Amino acid sequence: MKPETLRVAAVQLQSQDDVLRNLAECARLVAIAGHEGAKLVVLPENFAYFGADETKRKLAERLSDPNGPIQGALSEMARASGVFLVAGGFPEASDDFTKPFNTALVFGGDGMLVGSYRKIHLFDVALQDGTLLAESSGTTPGESLFTFDLGRFRVGLSICYDLRFPELYRALVSRGANVLLVPAAFTVHTGKDHWHALLRARAIESQAYVIAAAQWGKHPHGRTTYGHSLVVDPWGSIVAEASDRVSVVSTDLDLNYLEQVRAAIPCLEHRRL
């Protein structure tokens, strides 16, 4: 029997506060990923806009309006390249105008919206370098998990700070997920010490592939992100990684290998709690 594989790509961006320019860069890189054979392409968090909360609120779109500028552009990217496109995190309008959701969208190869995930855990921290970040001041948290299927691969969604909460990924695996997505905009301060360790840990404990698409470099308002977009296999090995630049990293996920890992150490079957 022919092994079941899935070609995937993680897009690494350096998004700014110019939506049209950001979307044009996304379209360029999604097209490259599709040309390289990817069937699943992941964009990072803040792919369309990386700037002030005041502007982010004005850019927020409702999912009931699929012709919004951001959603319309994403739909066309997915359709033009014939890929499943996961758009890491964008402002989705909520009932509170001042606090849109941070939402990942999934578009099929026909350009139709497959589903969405609203970021559950919000990044409220005071970093040792003096940076103060309070995502909850301008964002409404989500409440529900989301998965979708590509052949025999079941894909589970998360966004950035969710990475620090292993119970979320355990819940996704309990729903059958064997591919976990982490679109992100990790700060340099946290990323240099925790990014690789957390992504590998999530892959090992979940016995799943992890695809992490990241922002990299300098952004408005003094934000600097770590980059290093990764694909990690179910054994915890890094099989693809971006260097310090805007780029696309692609690789094949192998379902047979995943099943071998789960059979060799059946810890998912041994859970008692």
Give the pLDDT score at 132.
73
* The token pair that represents 90 in the structure block: 């964008």
- pLDDT of residue 234 exceeding 70, the answer is yes
Q: Please, are residues 54 and 5 in contact by the beta-carbon 8 Å criterion? A: no
Using one digit for the tens of pLDDT, what is the confidence trace for 168-215? 999 999 999 999 999 999 999 999 999 999 999 999 999 999 999 999
pLDDT for res 133: 74
Phi, then psi, of 68 in degrees rounded to 5? -60, 155
Nearest Cα to Cα of residue 89 among 129, 121, 117: 117
Mean pLDDT of the chain: 96
How much is the average pLDDT of 155-159? 98
Region 103-108 average pLDDT:
98
- At 124 the pLDDT is 87
Asked whether residue 1 carries a pLDDT value surpassing 70, the answer given is no
Residue with tokens 């890189």, as numbered in its chain = 29
> Is the predicted pLDDT of residue 127 greater than 60, yes or no?
yes
pLDDT per residue as tens digits for the range 19-66: 999 999 999 999 999 999 999 999 999 999 999 989 999 999 999 988
Distance between CA atoms of 113 and 74, rounded to whole angstroms? 9
Return the active site residues: 45, 119, 160
Residue 157: burial class (beta carbons within 10 Å; 0-12, 13-18, 19+): buried
If one counts every other C-beta atom within 10 angstroms of the C-beta of residue 197, the result is 9
- Predicted TM-score (pTM) of the model is 0.96
Contact present, 138 and 241 (Cβ < 8 Å): no
Do 248 and 29 meet the contact criterion of CB atoms below 8 Å apart? yes
Tell me: pLDDT of 97 over 50.
yes
| Domains of the chain as residue ranges with CATH | 5-264 (3.60.110.10)
Percent of the chain beyond pLDDT 70? 97
Q: What is the DSSP track for 77-107?
A: HHHHHT-EEEEEEEEE--SSTTS-EEEEEEE
How many C-beta atoms surround the C-beta of residue 215 within 10 A?
A: 30
Q: In whole angstroms, what is the distance from residue 16 CA to residue 13 CA?
A: 9
Q: What percent of the chain has pLDDT over 90?
A: 90
DSSP string across 17-38? S-HHHHHHHHHHHHHHHHHTT-
Structure tokens at 255: 């379902």
What element of type H or E holds 129?
none
Higher pLDDT, 80 or 127: 80
Q: Is the pLDDT of residue 156 over 80?
A: yes
Predicted pLDDT at 2? 56
- Cα separations in angstroms, 232 against 27, 163, 182, 250: 25, 14, 11, 12
Q: Residue 196's pLDDT is what?
A: 98
